[in-house]
Amino acid sequence: MQSLWLIFQLLFCLFLGFVLARKLPQKLEQLCFKVLPYFTYILLIAIAIEFSQTLHNIANPTQILSSAIGLALATSLGAFICCYALFKMIGYQPLQGKVSIDLLTKSLLNIGYAFFALAVGYGIAEFANTFNFSMRVSTWSLLLVFMFLIGLDLAYSPLDRSWLNWKILLVPLACIVGSILGAIAISLFIDEISLKDLIMLSQGYGFYSMTGIVVTELKNAHLGSIALINDLFREIFAIIFMYLIGWRYPRSAISSAGATAMDVTLPMVKQSCGNDFIPHAMVSGFVLSVLAPIVVSILAAL
């Protein structure tokens, strides 16, 4: 129920922004559109602060980090490759016939800005921790504001029946299958976690605000910490894929983003893939956000 409530909040803020477009004072709307391109970096700073606080609250951070990063990379790559293979089978080709130097340069700059924002957030958190200053950053509140801004932007974007295209459902399907295959592949290199638990952790799809809590409650704090960090790094890898090659393989990049395609990485979809792929991100993120707590809970209880 809690996960459904969170999803409702996201969709409500998106709908509210969409409905209020053209009804707000013009100066306020202009301010919102000026803030929107930079809101990504505000979110990244907040995520980095949260990540720093997580590291200080877990035991054996080095071992947990290595396992979580390995799983995050394997599942992200698995989703990306699986989605590419699915769409290639039905005849879809990359959007660009050759690499554009301008697009590549822009992508590298964007990912540089993203990592700079992460470094700033982490530095702020560590500086505050040095002086025993307690920082409280609500990434969820920031997400709700962002969804409102996206709703405003969508009101000025052309919407059609592509939102209901059944082929869009291949994007979350590829994420599910690719994540499982990635977990199976990484099990060859991670001995301390069983294959069943790795598959369970892979089905969080980057929904870190839920997965860590569910796994901690149903399994143990050690696996819960891995679940949280794994999903945080899935977001980071999603950002990397989005900015580096999302312009050429947008569906695959969105699939690798998992549940975060609906919220945290949605601005990256807009920047690197364009408004045409916002429906893919919204539908895929919604489906995976609904499935994640159900699948993780079932697998954790087995």
Report the 10 Å Cβ neighbour count for 137: 17
- 291 or 72: which leads in pLDDT: 72
Per-residue pLDDT tens digits for 181-195: 999 999 999 988 999
E-only strand ranges, the chain: none
Look up residue 270 and give its DSSP letter. I
Structurally, the chain folds into a number of domains equal to: 1
Q: For residue 2, is pLDDT > 60?
A: no
Find the mean pLDDT for residues 275-279: 81
Higher pLDDT, 81 or 133: 81
Q: What are phi and psi of 71, to 5 degrees?
A: -65, -40
Between residues 83 and 142, the one the model is more confident about: 83
Asked if 175 and 79 touch (Cβ cutoff 8 Å), the reply is yes
Query: Does the pLDDT of residue 96 top 60, yes or no?
Result: no
- What would the mean pLDDT of 272-286 be, rounded to a whole number? 82
DSSP annotation string for 124-166: HHHHHHHTT------HHHHHHHHHHHHHHHHHTS---GGGG-G
| Sign (positive or negative) of CA dihedral 249, 120, 142, 175 | positive
In terms of residue numbers, what domain contains 245? 2-301
Q: Over the chain, what is the mean pLDDT?
A: 81
Q: By C-alpha distance, which of 263, 266, 252, 250 is closest to 289?
A: 263
In contact, 170 and 87? CB cutoff 8 Å = yes
Query: Per-residue pLDDT for 82 more than 50?
Result: yes
The pLDDT of residue 17 is 87
